[in-house]
A = this chain, B = another copy of it.
Amino acid sequence: MPHYQYFNGEIVPLDQPVFQTNDLGILRGYGLFDYFRTYNGVPFRWDDYWQRFENSARLLKLPLPVTQQETEKILADLYAMSGETEVAFRFVLTGGYAPDSVHMVQPNFLIRTEALPQDNPAGRLKGIKVLPYEYVRDLPEIKTTNYVHMVLMADELKRQNAADLLFHKDGEVSELTRSNIFIFHGDKLITSDRNILNGITRRVVIELAKADFEVEVRPVTYKEVITADEVFTTSTTKWVMPVVQIGDLPVGNGQAGTRTLHLQRQFEELVAHWGK
């Protein structure tokens, strides 16, 4: 288990409270984050994650208190102190302390070192069930900390043996709570490009898929999803995860699709050799 975190220039124990309570992240939900992991001890697609983090910060008008190079040094220190082979890093940037609880003065920047989450290896082979949920994220292109619906529905997901929510609105599907969606109609691979967070794993999978499939990046209807031959979802922790059931409806024949498993293997090979 990692035991350290970085906060505004210092490395301190992971369980040490660091934010004063007038932080706008706590009081006003004014915060953003990013999350990525190492493979073979090397942060995966670090430039992409940094760029997305920078983009979120810019859109929330938060100046970054450190450069990419400075952050690399911090990550190297945190990794060395973790004593682990692989770790995940969670960046959190908030609006900072606000004397009037409204106006930003200076952001607070936290980096947590975390143990790798359980990657649901059973789900990768068998596929997962998701529940359709009428919702579209506010400011979807920003990785804000607003995941209220995900936490609110966590118990209901368990109760229904489902692994995630599939967000849809006005007949269009955007994403899952923390991951992107892909569908296969025959050899055509389609992924949503509207009201989504631009996933790094999504980007990698699009790159990989272009060798073998026709790839369309465009709005996706709910009907296209439930009539697809194969559906899968991608994220930093899920990799390429087959979706085999949407609510009560099986996807295709209800088993992980062959094209999906092909992409999954390609992704796994990529990360197995990452940094080598």
Contacts and interface: CB of A to CB of B under 8 A. Distances in A.
A116 to B, nearest CB: 12
A151 interface: yes
Contacts of A16: 20
A61 B28 contact: no
A29 B92 contact: no
Interface stretch (A71-79, A98-106, A250-258): A98-106
Contact of A151 (B7, B20, B104): B104
A154 B19 CA distance: 22
A30 interface: yes
Contact of A27 (B7, B27, B33): B33
| Stoichiometry (number of copies) | 2
Interface string A1-40: 0000101000000111111111111111111010000000
A28 B150 contact: yes
Given A29-B146, A145-B28, A95 B21 contact: no
Interface residues of A, number: 48
Given A17-B21, A18-B21, A117-B100, A148 B28 contact: yes
A114 B184 CA distance: 55
A152 interface: yes
B117 A26 contact: no
Given A148-B138, A148-B144, A103 B154 contact: yes
A214 interface: no
Contacts of A31: 26, 29
A81 B31 CA distance: 32
A103 B147 CA distance: 12
Contacts of A101: 90, 114
Contacts of A22: 112
A155 interface: yes
A123 to B, nearest CB: 15
A153 B199 CA distance: 27
18 contacts: A19-B21, A19-B26, A23-B26, A26-B31, A26-B92, A27-B33, A27-B90, A29-B29, A29-B144, A29-B145, A30-B148, A95-B151, A102-B150, A103-B151, A103-B154, A104-B151, A139-B148, A146-B148
Interface of A: 5, 7, 14-31, 33, 60-61, 90, 92, 94-95, 100-104, 110, 112, 114, 117, 138-139, 144-148, 150-152, 154-155
